Amino acid sequence: MKTYEQAKEEMIFQVNNLQDVIKFLRENAYYEKICGSCSTKMRLRVNDFRANERKFCNDACRATNQRDKKRLGTYSRQELNKRKQKRDEIKKEIIKLRNEGLTFAKIGTKFNTSRQRVEQIYSKMTKNDS
């Protein structure tokens, strides 16, 4: 025969066991997402309400993505040298045109920039020469 006390104890025991199972299920439900930077598979907890907003697997990947967005660090040394060479050529051309008597405004129009910018480049270049 099962007494009231025994039945009650048994019920509490089973309910507690079930609560542990529920807790386990909540904490161990995972889904997967691909990192927006390194394409690694991320394992995210369903129960973590912030996980859904995560786009990157770690801080380094987030930083890399920011850099890529600003297009920094993506050019090769060769490409950077080429760009610098081009800028230097333009600077030399500005000096040459100015010495030929062109106004800063006209030089600016030629290089699709402002008179102020040309003047700035010119004064910086001629200052370095002397």
**Binding to Zn ion by residue 57, rule CB under 5 A?**
yes
Least distance (Å) between residue 62 CB and Zn ion: 8
Q: Closer CB to Zn ion, residue 37 or residue 121? A: 37
Least distance (Å) between residue 39 CB and Zn ion: 7
Residues near 82 by Cβ (< 8 Å), separated by ≥ 6?
Answer: none
For residue 32, the cross-strand partners are: 43
Number of residues that bind Zn ion (CB under 5 A): 6
Element containing residue 78 per DSSP (H, E): helix 77-99
x/- letters, 30..49, toward Zn ion (CB under 5 A):
-----x-xx-x---------
| Near Zn ion by CB under 5 A: residue from 61, 94, 97, 107 | 61
The interface with Zn ion within residues 88-117 (CB under 5 A) comprises none
Residues near 49 by Cβ (< 8 Å), separated by ≥ 6?
Answer: none
Cα distances (angstroms) measured from residue 97 to each of 6, 48, 51, 81, 94: 103, 64, 59, 24, 5
Least distance (Å) between residue 58 CB and Zn ion: 6
